[in-house]
Structure 1
Amino acid sequence: MATTPSAEAQIPRPSASLVIVNARNEILLVHRNPQARHFGGVHVFPGGNFDKKQDDSLAITAIRETFEESGLLLASSSSVPPVTLPDASLDEARFKIHSQKLNFQTFLAENRLTADIYSLLPFTQWITPVNALRRFHTQFFVAFLPAAPSAGFSSGEKQERIPKPDGGQEVVSARFLHPEDALAEFRKGKITFMPPQAYLLTTLAGILQGRTNTPEQRHLVEALSRGAFGHMVINPRRLGTPDENGRTILTYEGDETRGGSKGRLHRVLVKVGKAGITSEVVLQRNFDIFTEIEPEAFSVPSKL
Structure 2
Amino acid sequence: MSSSSSGKSEKGKSGPALPRPSSSVILVSPKNEILLLHRVQTSSSFASAHVFPGGNLAPQDGDCPAEGDKKRHEDSPSYRRAAIRELFEESGILLAKDTSSKKMLAVNEEEREKGRKAIHQDEITFAEWVRTQNVHAEADIDGLIPFTRWITPPNVPRRYTTQMYLYFLPLPIESDKRLLQEIPAEGEREEIPIPTSDGGVEVTEAIFLTASEWLRKAGRGEIMLFPPQYLLLHLTAQFLDKEPRTAVSEEMGERRRELVEFVHSGTPPWTEKCISPKMLKVSSDGRTVLALDHPGPELEGSNRRGESDRVVLVKFGKGAARQVEVRWKKDVFEADRQEKSNL
TM-score, structure 1 length as denominator? 0.82
Q: Which residue of 2 aligns with 1:118?
A: 142
Q: Which of 98, 106, 111 is 1:77 aligned to? A: 98
Cα pair 1:225 1:231 within 8 Å, conserved: no
Q: Which residue of 1 aligns with 2:270?
A: 229
Displacement of 1:219 after TM fit?
A: 1.4
Displacement of 1:154 after TM fit?
A: 4.2
Q: Could you list the runs of 5+ residues in structure 1 that have no partner in the other structure?
A: 288-304
3-state SS in 2 of match to 1:181? helix
- Distance in 1 of aligned mates of 2:100 and 2:203: 33
Q: Which residue of 2 aligns with 1:279?
A: 322
1:161-180 map, 5 Å: 161-165=192-196, 166-180=198-212
Q: Which residue of 2 aligns with 1:60?
A: 81
Displacement of 1:82 after TM fit?
A: 8.6
Displacement of 1:211 after TM fit?
A: 4.4
Q: Which of 267, 282, 286 is 2:311 aligned to? A: 267
Cα pair 1:25 1:211 within 8 Å, conserved: no
Q: Which of 254, 257, 267 is 1:216 aligned to? A: 254
- For residues 43-68 of structure 1, the C-alpha deviation after alignment (integer angstroms, 9 at most, x for no partner) is 00100111122445211111111101
- Establish whether residue 44 from structure 1 lines up as the match of residue 51 from structure 2: yes
Q: Amino acid of the residue matched to residue 132 of structure 2?
A: E
Bigger relative CO (Cα 8 Å, ≥ 6 apart): 1
- For residues 115-170 of structure 1, the C-alpha deviation after alignment (integer angstroms, 9 at most, x for no partner) is 11111111111111111111111111111111688573243323233223112211
Q: Amino acid of the residue matched to residue 125 of structure 1?
A: R
Aligned residue pairs: how many?
274
Q: Which of 157, 174, 189 is 1:158 aligned to? A: 189
3-state SS in 1 of match to 2:207? strand
Q: Amino acid of the residue matched to residue 193 of structure 2?
A: I
TM-score, structure 2 length as denominator? 0.73
What is the percent sequence identity of the aligned residues?
Answer: 34
Q: Amino acid of the residue matched to residue 170 of structure 1?
A: E
Cα pair 1:18 1:45 within 8 Å, conserved: yes
RMSD across aligned positions (CA): 2.6
- For residues 248-303 of structure 1, the C-alpha deviation after alignment (integer angstroms, 9 at most, x for no partner) is 1111118xxxx9xxxx742111111222x20111111369xxxxxxxxxxxxxxxx
Q: Which residue of 1 aligns with 2:236?
A: 204
- For residues 161-186 of structure 1, the C-alpha deviation after alignment (integer angstroms, 9 at most, x for no partner) is 32231122111110101011111111
Cα pair 2:192 2:206 within 8 Å, conserved: no
Runs of 4+ in 1 over 6 A off after TM superposition: 79-83
- Establish whether residue 248 from structure 1 lines up as the match of residue 296 from structure 2: no
3-state SS in 2 of match to 1:207? helix
- Establish whether residue 140 from structure 1 lines up as the match of residue 153 from structure 2: no
3-state SS in 1 of match to 2:127? helix
